[in-house]
Amino acid sequence: MESTNQSLKPITTKINESGNLEIGGCDLVDLAEKYGTPLYVIDEATLRSICADYKHAFASYNKVNMMFASKSLCTMATSAILAQEGFGFDVVSSGEIYTVYKAGADMSKVLFNGNNKSIDELTLALEVGVGRISVDNFLELALLDQIAKSQNKIVDILLRITPGIECHTHEYIQTGHLDSKFGFDLTQIDEAVDLILNDYTNLKLHGLHAHIGSQIFETKVYHDEIEILVKELARLDEKFGLKLDEINIGGGLGVKYTEKDVPPSTFEIAQVIINSLNESIKKYGIEPPALFLEPGRSIISTSGTTLYTIGSSKQVPHGKKYVAIDGGMSDNPRPSMYQAEYSAEIANKKENAALQTVTIAGRFCESGDILIKDIELTEPLRGDILCVYNTGAYNYSMASNYNRVQKPQMVIVNNSKSDIIVSRETLEDLISHDIVPDRLK
């Protein structure tokens, strides 16, 4: 059974009567004219569709909790939609905590994760009632217990562990292998548990948390991860008499950025996870734990597209043709960082236009600012609108003001209506935090 994460484009994408690309009932050329470019576009129908896929896929396990990985995209509007769909949130900073809090999320369904949480961030998490804190290291155990004591609170925690599983993804997005900055090594778990039980009395341990990577196309890695987590629950019960009842297996399911990508469906992953969990529960003789998942990319990526206006072009003699856009590595750094690949089309009507192989170059002062290499497009000309697909995850989240360029606007489309959900930065916004000391005036 297919799911939305296997789609290259938003599910509402079509060519309209004008011959232009349309998403959410909105003509993309009209959107570009109305809001300007670069422009992030989120299709609400696609976002809600993938949420429905996840809920349907995992419905047979009655102790499942969906938590959206906010690092992939964190805005108040998208957070409000996800909360409406029943999702909790995995957050990794005070900014993400504050955003989902102001969006009206149920904070008891929020987990705070990260390898170097500050005292201020931990304090904020306790003040707004974050439901779980995933503790990453020994220093954090001590800090959190100290803060909890000062507030006279008992804090519900998970221990993040490194399960020793390596996924076949880019090395920068592997998080579950042994040599990782994240989590307790398996050999350190007993020491951490002993501290929680005997010294850090303001911490209440509920279970274990692991995350094995991102943009995962394999399925066996989830089976291996679950067996390690369940085995640890059983071992800790035997050694400490500690009946932990939660496991958080992270997220990581991949999406289709190009035609060559063939990610598993949400339903396929769910079957592997649920079957593996049931097998491990039986094998190690424990009660079924609550299962937490943290999908991010596979929830939001496909719903997002980015619109650019094509500007200059350059034909290298006996070489490539470069076509420049009005954005690039500032609004999408992933190609430069990860060698990430994308698919794109010209959004405006191109009757009888021949295909050309071109390389899409960004506008920024870096020769590595290349968005897409060697893509076939219908005769890209100055003023055309380029639609890049599957940009919902990690594009806005990782955007910068490099070259002092303003971050783009973001709109959400649904039923032929468009609404701004993130305003375009202005030149005044860029300098709003700059200060010139009096001695320099």
pLDDT digit string (tens) for 382-417?
Answer: 999 999 999 999 999 999 999 999 999 999 999 999
Instruction: Mark 335-364 as b/e (b = at least 16 C-beta within 10 Å).
Output: bbebebbbbbbbbbebeeeeeeebbbbbbb
Which one is catalytic: 26, 74, 167, 365? Answer: 365
Contact in structure between 174 and 166 (CB atoms under 8 Å): yes
**Within a domain: 292:** yes
Q: Evaluate the CA torsion angle 67, 70, 73, 75 in order and state its sign.
A: positive
Q: What is the DSSP letter of 216?
A: B
Task: Tell me which amino acid residue 383 is.
Answer: G
pLDDT mean over 209-226:
90
Residue 277 belongs to domain with CATH number: 3.20.20.10
Q: Are residues 159 and 254 in the same domain?
A: yes
3-state DSSP: the chain helix, strand, coil percent, rounded to 5? Answer: 35, 25, 40
Residue 317 belongs to domain with CATH number: 2.40.37.10
Question: How confident is the prediction for the chain on average, in pLDDT?
Answer: 94
| Distances from the Cα of 276 to the Cα of 175, 219, 283, angstroms | 21, 11, 10
Residue 365 known to be catalytic: yes
Q: Are residues 67 and 28 in the same domain?
A: no
Q: Are residues 201 and 310 in the same domain?
A: no
**Within a domain: 224:** yes
Task: Look at the block and give the residue holding tokens 């649920």.
Answer: 274
Tokens at residue 381, please? 């000309």
Contacts of 127 (CB under 8 A, 6+ apart): none
Tokens at residue 146, please? 């100290």
pLDDT mean over 1-17:
95
Where in the sequence is the domain holding 31, given as residue range(s)? 4-42+302-431
pLDDT value at position 166? 58
Residue 424 has pLDDT above 50, yes or no: yes
Contact in structure between 162 and 183 (CB atoms under 8 Å): yes
User: Domain boundary at 236, 267, 300, which?
Assistant: 300
User: Domain boundary at 260, 275, 300, which?
Assistant: 300
Distance CA 44, CA 83 (A): 14
pLDDT digit string (tens) for 237-292?
Answer: 999 999 999 999 999 999 999 999 999 999 999 999 999 999 999 999 999 999 99
**Within a domain: 365:** yes
pLDDT value at position 125? 98
Rg (CA), the chain: 23
pLDDT digit string (tens) for 303-357?
Answer: 999 999 999 999 999 899 999 999 999 999 999 998 999 999 999 988 888 899 9
**Within a domain: 295:** yes
Q: What is the DSSP letter of 253?
A: B
pLDDT value at position 352? 80
Task: Tell me which amino acid residue 169 is.
Answer: T
pLDDT mean over 93-114:
98
Beta strands in 210-296 (DSSP E): 246-248, 290-293
- Give how many domains the chain has, as a whole number: 2
**Of 395, 344, 336, 340, nearest in space to 366 by CA:** 336
Q: Evaluate the CA torsion angle 187, 180, 120, 292 in order and state its sign.
A: negative
Q: What is the DSSP letter of 423?
A: P
Cis peptide before 263 (omega within 30 of 0): no
Distance CA 109, CA 338 (A): 31
166 or 197: which carries more pLDDT confidence?
197
Measured at the CA of 167, the angle between CA 221 and CA 334, to 5 degrees, comes to: 135
- Please, where are the H alpha helices in 130-244? 138-150, 189-198, 220-240
Q: Are residues 173 and 295 in the same domain?
A: yes
Distance CA 60, CA 54 (A): 11
**Within a domain: 436:** no
Q: Are residues 306 and 192 in the same domain?
A: no
Q: Are residues 23 and 160 in the same domain?
A: no
